[in-house]
Amino acid sequence: MPSCRESTRLMSEARERALTRGERVGLRLHLLMCAGCRNFGKHLDFLRGAAQAYVPGAAADDEAANPDSTSVTPESDAPTGR
Amino acid sequence: MANELAGDAAQAGGGAVTLADPEFLVPLRRQMIKFATLQLKDPDLAEDAVQEALAGALKNQRSFGGRSALKTWVFAILKNKIADALRQRSRIVTASSLGDAEDDDETFAALFDARGHWHLSEQPAGWREPEASLRETQFWRVFEACLEGLPERQARVFMMREFVGLDADEICKALALSRTNLNVLLHRARLRLRACLENHWFVEDLR
């Protein structure tokens, strides 16, 4: 039976390829007994949905000063919060 | 460029948010360039992709009720331009441009013990209603910080796969990576991103 590390690898790879029958059986067995890895599987689904909904930089829109872009001269009339 | 935009603004009119509003466009363009550069690793290609995306967006100008809806739409166009650019210039990029510095087992050692079991404190917890987080600005700040905290090429392949939407073969071709390399990078990226979100966001919900 696969370890947790191995199971997370299989769950990750399952997003790019079909697992073999042996892999599926081993993974299923492991998941029956491991709540942490079951959670991991759910979180992977969430990660994909979040990545698709993500808009780069959107979170920084509220801030006039963008901390990681030091080259930016802040417009003096930019609102500090919206 | 500015004049074109202003012209379109006049046509679009109204109080809705449009691309022609420089207060909206300037930071948006900067974010687009930043993202495209991360993905394409080539300032000229990135500039082209952003320019094409903005031109496409202006041509099909629609009015949106809010900044974030407009932005999402513009980024969806940019994703397609980036995907096209990555598919086209597959032979230009060499594996070396990704660097090999992160090939240690740091990620795994931090999460799993020698037998491959979760360290007790690293075992993934149950997240309560994670979908609700997607509506919170603060969540996206954490998400972005977690992404930026990933080693560069992990972040890059993760976003190519999950955000830009290339399939595994396309990514391998674009970056001259073996399938095994790609699998390892994606596995690590997912492990780290998940752990980062749990530690900096979802743990709060569990108290």
- CATH (domain of B107): 1.10.10.10
CA R_g for chain B: 20
* pLDDT digits 0-9 by tens, B178-194: 999 999 999 999 999 99
Work out the average pLDDT over B39-64: 88
Residue B100 and residue B84 share a domain: no
Across the interface, whether the CB atoms of B134 and A53 are under 8 A apart is answered yes
**CA atoms of B182 and A41, how far apart (whole Å):** 19
CA distance B171 to B177: 8
Whether B171 contacts B163, CB under 8 Å: no
Residue type, B109: A
- For residues B45 and B117, state if they share a domain: no
Q: Of B29, B54, B88, which one is at a domain's C-terminal end?
A: B88
Q: Which of B88, B161, B199, B57 is nearest to A54 (CA)?
A: B161
The Cα–Cα gap between B27 and B147 comes to 20
Residues 6+ apart with CB under 8 A from A62: A81, A82, B137
Q: Give the list of residues 6+ apart from residue A13 with CB closer than 8 angstroms, or none.
A: A19, B183, B186, B187
Contacts of A67 in chain B (CB under 8 A): none
Tell me how close the Cα of A21 comes to any Cα of chain B, in angstroms.
19
B149 and B199 housed in the same domain: yes
* Model pLDDT for residues B115-147, shown as the tens digit of each residue: 999 999 999 999 988 999 999 989 999 999 999
Cα separation, B145 vs B159, in Å, equals 14
User: Could you tell me the residue range of the domain that residue B62 belongs to?
Assistant: 2-88
Q: Say whether both B136 and B176 belong to one domain.
A: yes
Residues B100 and B202 in one domain: yes
Kindly state the helix (H) or strand (E) to which residue A11 belongs, with its residue range.
helix A4-13
Inspect the interface and report whether the beta carbons of A59 and B137 lie closer than 8 Å.
Answer: yes
- B115 to chain A, minimum CA–CA distance in Å? 7
Contacts of B144 in chain A (CB under 8 A): 54, 56-57, 59-60
Specify the pLDDT at position A56. Answer: 86
Pair (B70, B133) in one structural domain = no
| Predicted TM-score (pTM) of this structure | 0.78
Which chain A residues are within 8 Å of B197, Cβ to Cβ?
Answer: 43, 47
Separation of alpha carbons A51 and A46, rounded Å: 9
Model pLDDT, residue B102: 52
Is the same domain home to B121 and B69? no
- CB proximity list for A6: less than 8 A, separation 6 or greater: A30, B116
**Do B111 and B190 share a domain, yes or no?**
yes
Contact B34 A51 (CB under 8 A): no
- Judge if B114 and B63 occupy the same domain: no
Give the count of domains, chain B.
Answer: 2
Query: CB–CB of B186 and A36 under 8 A?
Result: no
More confident residue, B92 or B16: B16
Q: Would you say the ipTM is above 0.90?
A: no
Q: Are the C-beta atoms of residues B111 and A7 closer than 8 Å to each other?
A: no
Test A16 with B115 for CB contact under 8 angstroms. Answer: no
Residues of B in contact with A50 (CB under 8 A): 134, 143
Answer whether A50 touches B (CB < 8 Å): yes
Residues B100, B84: one domain? no
Does residue B108 sit in the same domain as residue B190? yes
Q: Please check the confidence at residue B61 and state whether its pLDDT lies above 90.
A: no
